[in-house]
Chains A and B, each alone.
Chain A
């Protein structure tokens, strides 16, 4: 932008060579993924139909997907691995449970307040651990999960180790959604959250967060405060995790301190890795694969977790960008094979 009266010539816009321009504008990329995601969701809902077993599978998959999406922002974008997600999911679940059993407040209030409390908890934990990274952060968040689970077992208002059960059914200003409607709503929530996270990832904010992971000093130099960004990422992730807990608790009808086990949290780490870390939809795909392997394959006793662990190792060694990244590479290879090449990018 030149200023009036400046003597320097207006800068000439040089069009960059075509192959440096991103293949799709970011908005289109996000919308395109959403379109594919919604198509897949509709396909799944049709497959599920009114089969109770498949419905339960879908709800479990939606819960896992939301926890994985919750971990996506801090883990994949900001590069900090926290194992506190079981605690955040429990907060969401217990909020719904307590609102239902202890108060006369409408149930959707529990759905709102759970994520808020979880976000606050994440910020506090984030502040306490802001100097930590890698293995130390994992260990501290693991201890936090254990301490929180013990707290749930011992606090007077949480029903102790026996937990809480028999909740009211959801009532949104007089509309009582049926089971089928709730299932569709869960799939929709997952799609919406994945879409929003994808827009976020492609937005300037998302790019700053990703740069923060690689070169924090550059980000600081540009004027953004890295610690604040980190806390926002953590809060966002915790809120989504709490949403997952609220969903599962509402649909399954009970919650105990050990409902959202550490096993689940570890699986949630593996989900974006399996599906692909390039986009939040990878976390959703990873969740579907994990549910398939751990719940829908009765061949060997509990071999689901074994298959998932081995699968993760295989992917990290052979296809580190996950299934989606792998398919994307395949697409590029295909296009390259089909179009005549010029120059030296053979």
Chain B
């Protein structure tokens, strides 16, 4: 082949490759443009078919569901039950005949994404937003601007419901100050005067601890706090340091999941006779119990909120058994999800329909003595213009204890909170 021939052949080859790439690129571009021009349309999932009884124009409700980060351990349970509750609602008349249409966004518990996802749900017509993610507090300025009533379904950090930017935000769970009172009650009863804390380095845990520690220090001395990376595979060093301070009890604080199990196991290995308390409500994360080696969770006392003698709890357990099977381990997340939907429905119905967020918001603040599906029998949630966290007293909380089968088999026998306001 002559020199110019080979150049021409090379030119032809590269041209062919260019054309092939053009084809592939055009296909990709088309997908991107079509998918992006209609934000949310490709992925918006609707809540089952509207039932036989609710057939009016749908009311759009947004859910920010982080289904992909480390928090997925509990958000998935919450998400599933939110869906069930909405299906149930639609099958029994919806909101004054209108079914609820659920649109879902995912902020991956990433504080840089939460405002964008909140905006996205609003642009899809959401009249109410349910937050099922670890970063709901970062959405507050956006929610305030949009004026859409929102519930932080499983959030226990008071920030979401207090000023600033809280005109439209609500919580159901018992606040941390109540948690402190319950722990203090238990510790006073069992003679614990000093504690050591082992925690992860997440933002949620840090925010929790900033509020909890000062409250705890009213009844015990925190002799040592050890922090380890949430993704670490080993906490032996941190536990050894805790051990050297000789606390009466150890409190483990984290987002739950594998860190909690690793921490509990290590404390069990190195400090086998020290009582272990968990801040992370692993009693509510059945998926993580199997991560633990046999017997390593025996005796762990964890803050829970389910009392089997509460009639509302029994009702919900029966409902869930129909859908998830009789052996489904109901958790506080199921109760939170169910109650969030009921509260939303109540407010919308009293406002005469779900399509006026301002009216719905006003009616949220008028809800009093709603019987919760968790807590001691008779426990209720109450809201007002100045009270956006529904908890009323300590008895929304139940201290549960793990048995040797690594399952929470009983309520902590030595102490349970009574229904008096803290």
Whole-angstrom CA separation of A330 from B18 in the bound complex: 8
Q: Are B15 and A333 in contact (CB under 8 A)?
A: yes
Q: Which of B32, B108, B203 sits near A256, CB closer than 8 Å? A: B203
Whole-angstrom CA separation of A256 from B138 in the bound complex: 11
A246 to chain B, nearest CB (A): 14
Q: Are B24 and A318 in contact (CB under 8 A)?
A: yes
Q: Which of A51, A161, A254, A345 sits near B201, CB closer than 8 Å? A: A161
Q: Which of A161, A257, A326 sits near B21, CB closer than 8 Å? A: A326
Q: Are B207 and A162 in contact (CB under 8 A)?
A: yes
Task: Chain B residues near A232: list those with CB within 8 A.
Answer: none
Q: Are B111 and A252 in contact (CB under 8 A)?
A: yes
Stretch with Cβ within 8 A of A (4 or more), from B36-44, B89-97, B325-333, B350-358: B36-44
Task: Chain A residues near B20: list those with CB within 8 A.
Answer: 318
Residue of A nearest to B107 (CB): A295
The prevalent SS among residues of B at the interface is helix
Q: Assuming A60-B116, A252-B138, A329-B18, is B4 touching A344 (CB within 8 A)?
A: yes
B42 to chain A, nearest CB (A): 5
Whole-angstrom CA separation of A44 from B394 in the bound complex: 52
Q: Are B120 and A253 in contact (CB under 8 A)?
A: no
Q: Are A56 and B119 in contact (CB under 8 A)?
A: yes
Residue of B nearest to A163 (CB): B203
Give 1 or 0 for each of B106-140: 1 = CB within 8 Å of chain A CB: 10101111011001101100000000000000100
Task: Chain B residues near A218: list those with CB within 8 A.
Answer: none
Stretch with Cβ within 8 A of A (4 or more), from B141-149, B189-197, B376-384, B401-409: B141-149
Query: Cβ of B17 < 8 Å from any Cβ of A?
Result: yes
Query: Cβ of B202 < 8 Å from any Cβ of A?
Result: yes
Q: Please list the 8 inter-chain residue pairs (A to B) with the smallest Cβ-Cβ separation, ordered nearest first.
A: A161-B206, A298-B43, A53-B119, A346-B8, A56-B116, A162-B207, A344-B4, A52-B119
Query: Cβ of A216 < 8 Å from any Cβ of B?
Result: no
Query: Cβ of A57 < 8 Å from any Cβ of B?
Result: yes
Query: Cβ of A297 < 8 Å from any Cβ of B?
Result: yes
Q: Which of B42, B205, B206 sits near A297, CB closer than 8 Å? A: B42
Query: Cβ of A259 < 8 Å from any Cβ of B?
Result: yes
Task: Chain B residues near A257: list those with CB within 8 A.
Answer: 203
Query: Cβ of B417 < 8 Å from any Cβ of A?
Result: no
**Chain B residue total in the interface (Cβ 8 A):** 52
Query: Cβ of A106 < 8 Å from any Cβ of B?
Result: no
Give 1 or 0 for each of A288-332: 1 = CB within 8 Å of chain B CB: 010011011111111000000001001000110001001001100
Q: Are A345 and B7 in contact (CB under 8 A)?
A: yes
Whole-angstrom CA separation of A299 from B105 in the bound complex: 10
Query: Cβ of B67 < 8 Å from any Cβ of A?
Result: yes
Task: Chain B residues near A319: list those with CB within 8 A.
Answer: 21, 25
Q: Are A53 and B18 in contact (CB under 8 A)?
A: no
Query: Cβ of A33 < 8 Å from any Cβ of B?
Result: no
Query: Cβ of A211 < 8 Å from any Cβ of B?
Result: no
Task: Chain A residues near B44: list those with CB within 8 A.
Answer: 298
A98 to chain B, nearest CB (A): 17
Residue of A nearest to B211 (CB): A162
Query: Cβ of A111 < 8 Å from any Cβ of B?
Result: no
Q: Are A333 and B205 in contact (CB under 8 A)?
A: no
Task: Chain B residues near A300: list those with CB within 8 A.
Answer: 43
Task: Chain B residues near A259: list those with CB within 8 A.
Answer: 111-112
Could you list 17 A-B pairs, sorted by A, with CB under 8 Å?
Answer: A52-B122, A52-B142, A53-B123, A162-B210, A252-B112, A257-B203, A259-B111, A259-B112, A296-B36, A298-B39, A298-B44, A298-B106, A299-B35, A299-B42, A301-B106, A319-B21, A346-B11
